[in-house]
Each structure stands twice: as structure tokens, then as C-alpha cells.
């Protein structure tokens, strides 16, 4: 019957053209998600990592910046999101209601990202002020694009099944973008943080704007005035709906617990890896595991949910994730049995990512079911409430994660120790940016002298004060050289490249910076030029970052990171599961019951656009609405 109805609809020329337009729109719309999530991951997941390992800051400065971004950013969201939504909603532009804001947001947001990762004029508190300002500008411009992008989705189709298709396709492409963005950062930035983030930010901004052009130029907007009127919802109505919808309330709490727990691994994994395994780019393979698991979980979820049911699937997936976290917490403490390597980290990470992805997908389905539950209990669906709560939960969880990360890095001492790496990365960038060999050799000799003075003194506090004055007198403060971290620079290696008639030879290793002598250094003469570079590590040869970070890490630091990365997620995911098991009652059979009641109230049910089960069917495969 359903197939016959579909054929009749497609035989209608108007409907056939609508379907053709939708099929085109869903691809051009969803492809835009790749670049969007690449740019979002760069800022949301790696801004603090960039600041921690690429900018020299005092602990108070880093803590202030992190808390303002985490908490202040959410306060700004509360003002910015509805304001931008109202502006977009009230716009009547010839090019469309959403497209101008999508494109303006993408271009302006891209410009802000380039400033964020390339402008390094200020230091200390001045840098904190600069980063707070550009972060709030990023929030504003990304919100402009974000609201315009997602507000366009309802205009693509009035049929819920088609909306679910384009939503899930967008989620898949967004996941691909997140995977690419994380992979680029992790593979190319260790040992080259300043230049690496500079180049990657340009690549990602180009991808962001390019992918959004797919959407802007490829999607045909369809006016949906009536739907837009129905979708509008006031804050008062939203709070009333949540209050009266007990299932939505519990699902919001569960999703918030899960989102906070699962986000801690990404937020602190690189600190854990650098402290336990070492400072290199092999954590890239951990990201590959994440990408593979996401793809596999998306592929197998429908069959697993159909066979097991969502409740049992959530229990199994949560247990799998918890076992993975427990494994991550144990590796390294028993080196003969469970050594901490990228291999063991990836194996247990596989369990974490598979379990978390399956749990999250089932949770989102459960949360979406609250729409029908609202219609069942209150007589209206109010889909806009659910669509509003999901980003709210994501942003609130992000604030919680920022707070936990700041606390752990500050109290454990990991941040202060990591500033050795940050100083090396910054100084490498300054040396590479000098115009002449004379300037470079002067810098190397001065730093070499500071290191010798520091190492020769038994009173480190006194020698740091002495060196701070000397750095100012030598005009070396313009390079942001820090006396209390000068020792770490001595373990970096200096290379020299000889350029004759603009032809560069192979880089020559001169030795550790602390051992360089004036006789080794040469300046330009005639048609021969010299370029000096500083390297932080070379695979199998030396690793200055490990000497000054990994090898200096204490048991206390490792315990703090293990508790935050493994212990808290286990607790929060277990609580999220407990909330759903105890309080959420909309399983497959209950959902089927609600649909039949709704059918009795309104036999047409055209707003659902789904086929109800017959009376002799025991189960209804609701999940297929979203994943087929």
C-alpha cells in the first residue's frame, strides 16, 4: 500500500520535481557540514591546546583566559543566540532568508579564525585580552552562520522522513569534518605549533568557506512560512514544555552528563599522551581510531537497535565504553603487562569510541521521541523545544569541560610544566622569523650565554632575576625570552642551511643550543647565506620536549590526568545510563502505543509522515525513521 502510494506521488510531475529538488538540496546542504565542523573543532577542541603549548603565559593568565572563554562565552551565547536568531528570522533579503547569513557568517568567522591563530603581537595579559575579544567575535560570527545553516533545514522539506534523511547525512559529513580537523592538528602541530596552527587555520578556513559555498550556491530555498510560524517558540513556552514533559527533562539531564563525561577525553587526551608516551604526532593514530569507530557505529547501529532494543543497546554500549575507560586508566601502571603506548591507548580507545557513539545515538533517538510524547501528553509536538535543547546541552557541557580542564591543569601543575614546551615552540618560531643570519647568530649566542649563567648558579631565584634584567638590556625581550624557562631551550638542537646562489643545501646539525660556540656560527658573505633553525625533536634522535615535560612529570600529575580523563567519564556515563534506566519509559512498545493513540485523535496523521504498525505487529522499528 505504501509503495503504491509512493509511485502515485512520483508520477505527479509537481511531486517528481519536488523530490528531484530535495535530493539535490540534501547533498549540497549536508556537504557544507564538512568545513563547518573542521573550523568548529579547530577552535572548540584545540584553542586551549594552542594556547597551552604555543603561547607563553603565567598560570593566572591561562586560568583567567580559560574561565572567561568557558563561562563568559556561555553567558554571551545566552545573549547572542536569540539576538542573532531574531535578526535572521526578521530578515527579508532578495538572495534568500538564510543564504546571506550563512555566507556572511562563514567569511567573517574565517577572518576571525585567521586572526586568532596568526596574530601574535601581544604577550601576557595583553594577549589574554586579545584572545577574549577574538573568541567572543568568533562566537558571534559562527553563531550567525550556525543559526542560518540549521534554520534552513526545515525549508528543505515538509516531510519528516526527508528531514531525517538530510539531518543524518549532515551529521555524517559533520563527523567527517571533525575527524579531518582533529587529524590535521594532531599530525602537523607537535614540534611546530606556531607555524603549524598558522598553516592549518588557513587550510581549514578555506575548507569552511568552500563547503559553505556548496550550500549557498547549490541549495534552492523553499518558502515555509507556516512551518516557520509553528516552529517559533518563546522562552516561556519552552520552559513550560520542559516542566510538563518529564521525559524530556530526564533526557536533558542524561545527555548533559554524557556530553560532559565524553568530552573530557578529547579535552585532556593530548596532555595525557604527551606526559605518558611523549611529545610527537603519533596521537594521530588515536584520531584515526576515533574516525573508524564513528563510521562503524553509524553503520551497525540500526541493526543493533532492531535486534537488541535501545535500552539493552545502551546498557551494553555504556559497559563497553566504561571498560575502555578503565583500561585507559590502568595502562602504564603495570608496564610489563599493560604498557602505555599508542597501541594500547588506541585499543582501549576503540572500546571507548564505539561504546560512546552507540550510546549517544540511542540517547538522541530517545530525546527525539519526547516530541511524540509531548503530543501524547500535552496535545502539541513542539519540535523546536528539542532542537533548542540539544545545542544548549552541548554549550553547557562545554562550559563544564572548560572548568574541569582548567582546574586539573592548574592544580596538578601540568600547565606550569608544559610551559617549557610552549617556550621552545615560541622561540623556534621567533628564530625562524628573523630576517638575517646576523640577527639569528646574535640571538643564539645570547641565549647560549643565559643558559650557561642559569646552569652555573645554585640560587635559581636570584639568577632568574639577574637574567630578566640582562634580557631587557640585550633587547631580547622583543623575542619574549623567559628567564625561568631558559634552561629548556638548551635541549633544542640548532641546524644551519647554507644557501649559495639561492640554492639551498641540506640542513647541517650544529648541536644542542646549550653547547653551541661562537666559532660554529657564520654570517652571510657574498653570494653565500646561512639560515639557522631550531628543532624540538627528531624521531629516534632527540626530544627536548620529553626531557623538559614527560621526564619531569610527577605521579601526582599522572593521577590528576587519569582521574579527569578516565575516572570522571566512567562516573558521568554511568549516571547518564542510570537516569535513563530509572526515569525514561519510552521504549519501542510505549512509542508504538503513543502513535496509535495519536492516530485515534487524528486519523490523518499527515504531520508525522510515517507508516503506523498494523494491529497484528508486536514491535515497531522506530529507529529506521532516522537511519534508513
pLDDT of residue 229: 47
Q: Is 95 exposed, middle or buried, given 0-12, 13-18 or 19+ CB atoms closer than 10 A?
A: exposed
Asked, for residue 373, whether it belongs to a domain, the answer is no
Q: Is 533 exposed, middle or buried, given 0-12, 13-18 or 19+ CB atoms closer than 10 A?
A: middle
Q: Which of 495, 521, 519, 491 is nearest to 508 (CA)?
A: 495
Residue showing cell 506521488: 9
pLDDT of residue 234: 56
pLDDT of residue 237: 64
pLDDT of residue 178: 86
pLDDT of residue 233: 52
Asked, for residue 509, whether it belongs to a domain, the answer is yes
Give yes or no for a contact between 320 and 354, defined as CB atoms under 8 angstroms apart: yes
Question: Helix, strand or coil for residue 449?
Answer: helix
Q: How many domains does the chain have?
A: 2
Asked, for residue 614, whether it belongs to a domain, the answer is no
CATH number of the domain residue 190 falls in: 1.20.1250.20
Of 534, 549, 564, the domain-final residue: 549
Residues of the chain with pLDDT below 50 are 1-9, 224-231, 606-607, 611-628
Asked, for residue 5, whether it belongs to a domain, the answer is no
| Alpha-carbon span 287 to 6, nearest angstrom | 42
Range of the domain at 151: 25-232
pLDDT tens for each residue of 473-507: 999 999 999 999 999 999 999 999 999 998 999 99
Question: Helix, strand or coil for residue 132?
Answer: helix
pLDDT tens for each residue of 292-324: 887 888 778 888 888 888 889 999 999 999 999
Q: Which of 265, 566, 583 is nearest to 397 (CA)?
A: 265
Asked, for residue 353, whether it belongs to a domain, the answer is no
pLDDT of residue 21: 83
pLDDT of residue 226: 45
Q: Which of 324, 319, 198, 316 is nearest to 265 (CA)?
A: 324
Asked, for residue 346, whether it belongs to a domain, the answer is no
pLDDT of residue 384: 60
Q: Which of 447, 448, 446, 466 is nearest to 457 (CA)?
A: 466
pLDDT of residue 230: 46
What would the grid cell of residue 85 be? 536568531
Residue 417 CB neighbours (<10 A): 19
Give 539-601 as a 3 state SS string.
CCCEEHHHHHCHHHCCHHHHHHHHHHHHHHHHHHHHHHHHHHHHHCCCCHHHHHHHHHHHHHH
Asked, for residue 308, whether it belongs to a domain, the answer is no
Q: Which residues, in sequence order, are CB contacts of 553 under 8 Å at separation 6+?
A: 275, 414, 417
pLDDT of residue 437: 96
Of 180, 215, 232, the domain-final residue: 232
Of 217, 232, 247, the domain-final residue: 232
Q: Which of 21, 568, 511 is nearest to 272 (CA)?
A: 568
Give 472-490 as a 3 state SS string.
HHCCCHHHCCCHHHHHHHC
Greatest alpha-carbon pair distance for the chain in Å reads: 93
Asked, for residue 532, whether it belongs to a domain, the answer is yes
Residue 586 CB neighbours (<10 A): 22
Amino acid at each position: 500500500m505504501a509503495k503504491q502510494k509512493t509511485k502515485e506521488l512520483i508520477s505527479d510531475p509537481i511531486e517528481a520535481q519536488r523530490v528531484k529538488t530535495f535530493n539535490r538540496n540534501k547533498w549540497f546542504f549536508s556537504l557544507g557540514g564538512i568545513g563547518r565542523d573542521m573550523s568548529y573543532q579547530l577552535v572548540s577542541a584545540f584553542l586551549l591546546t594552542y594556547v597551552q603549548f604555543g603561547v607563553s603565559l603565567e598560570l593566572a593568565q591561562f586560568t583567567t583566559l580559560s574561565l572567561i572563554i568557558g563561562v563568559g562565552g556561555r553567558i554571551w551565547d545566552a545573549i547572542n543566540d536569540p539576538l542573532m536568531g531574531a535578526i535572521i528570522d526578521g530578515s527579508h533579503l532578495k538572495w534568500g532568508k538564510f543564504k546571506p547569513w550563512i555566507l556572511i557568517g562563514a567569511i567573517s568567522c574565517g577572518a576571525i579564525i585567521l586572526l586568532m591563530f596568526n596574530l601574535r603581537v601581544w604577550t601576557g595579559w595583553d594577549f589574554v585580552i586579545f584572545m577574549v575579544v577574538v573568541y567572543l567575535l568568533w562566537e558571534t560570527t559562527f553563531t550567525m552562520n550556525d543559526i542560518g545553516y540549521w534554520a534552513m533545514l526545515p525549508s528543505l522539506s515538509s516531510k519528516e522522513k526527508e528531514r531525517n534523511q538530510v539531518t543524518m547525512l549532515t551529521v555524517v559529513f559533520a563527523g567527517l569534518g571533525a575527524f579531518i580537523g582533529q587529524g590535521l592538528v594532531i599530525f602537523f602541530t607537535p614540534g611546530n605549533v606556531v607555524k603549524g596552527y598558522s598553516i592549518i587555520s588557513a587550510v581549514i578556513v578555506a575548507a569552511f568557506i568552500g563547503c559553505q559555498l556548496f550550500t549557498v550556491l547549490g541549495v534552492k530555498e523553499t518558502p515555509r512560512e507556516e512551518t516557520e510560524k509553528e516552529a517559533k517558540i518563546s522562552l516561556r513556552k519552552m520552559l513550560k514544555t520542559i516542566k510538563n514533559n518529564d521525559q524530556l527533562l530526564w533526557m536533558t539531564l542524561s545527555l548533559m552528563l554524557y556530553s560532559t563525561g565524553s568530552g573530557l577525553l578529547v579535552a585532556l587526551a593530548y596532555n595525557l599522551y604527551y606526559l605518558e608516551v611523549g611529545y610527537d604526532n603519533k596521537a594521530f593514530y588515536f584520531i584515526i581510531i576515533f574516525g573508524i569507530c564513528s563510521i562503524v557505529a553509524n553503520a551497525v547501529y540500526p541493526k543493533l537497535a532492531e535486534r537488541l532494543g535501545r535500552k539493552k543497546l545502551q546498557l551494553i554500549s555504556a559497559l563497553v565504553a566504561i571498560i575502555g575507560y578503565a583500561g585507559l586508566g590502568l595502562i602504564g601502571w603495570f608496564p610489563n603487562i599493560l604498557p602505555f603506548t599508542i597501541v594500547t591507548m588506541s585499543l582501549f580507545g576503540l572500546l571507548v569510541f564505539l561504546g560512546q557513539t552507540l550510546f549517544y545515538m540511542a540517547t538522541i533517538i530517545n530525546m527525539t521521541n519526547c516530541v511524540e510524547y509531548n503530543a501524547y501528553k500535552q496535545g502539541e509536538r513542539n519540535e523546536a523545544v528539542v532542537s533548542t535543547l540539544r545545542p544548549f546541552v552541548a554549550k553547557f557541557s562545554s562550559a563544564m569541560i572548560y572548568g574541569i580542564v582548567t582546574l586539573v591543569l592548574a592544580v596538578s601543575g601540568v600547565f606550569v610544566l608544559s610551559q617549557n614546551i610552549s617556550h621552545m615552540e615560541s622561540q623556534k618560531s621567533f628564530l625562524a622569523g628573523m630576517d638575517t643570519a646576523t640577527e639569528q647568530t646574535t640571538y643564539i649566542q645570547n641565549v647560549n650565554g643565559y643558559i650557561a649563567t642559569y646552569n652555573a648558579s645554585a640560587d635559581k631565584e636570584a639568577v632568574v632575576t639577574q637574567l630578566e634584567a640582562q634580557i631587557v638590556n640585550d633587547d631580547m625581550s622583543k623575542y619574549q625570552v623567559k628567564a625561568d624557562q631558559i634552561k629548556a631551550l638548551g635541549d633544542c638542537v640548532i641546524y644551519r642551511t647554507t644557501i649559495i646562489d639561492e640554492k639551498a643545501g641540506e640542513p647541517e646539525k650544529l648541536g644542542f643550543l646549550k653547547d653551541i660556540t661562537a666559532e660554529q656560527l657564520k654570517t652571510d658573505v657574498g653570494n653565500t647565506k646561512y639560515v639557522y633553525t631550531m628543532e624540538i625533536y627528531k624521531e629516534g634522535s632527540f626530544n627536548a620536549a620529553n626531557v623538559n615535560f614527560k621526564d619531569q612529570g610527577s605521579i601526582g600529575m599522572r593521577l590528576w590526568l587519569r582521574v579527569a580523563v578516565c575516572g570522571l567519564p566512567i562516573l558521568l556515563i554511568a549516571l547518564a545510563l542510570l537516569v535513563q534506566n530509572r526515569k525514561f519509559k519510552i521504549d519501542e512498545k510505549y512509542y508504538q502505543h503513543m502513535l496509535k493513540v495519536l492516530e485515534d485523535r487524528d486519523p490523518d496523521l499527515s504531520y508525522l509522515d510515517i507508516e503506523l504498525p498494523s494491529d497484528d505487529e508486536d514491535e515497531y522499528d522506530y529507529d529506521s525513521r532516522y537511519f534508513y
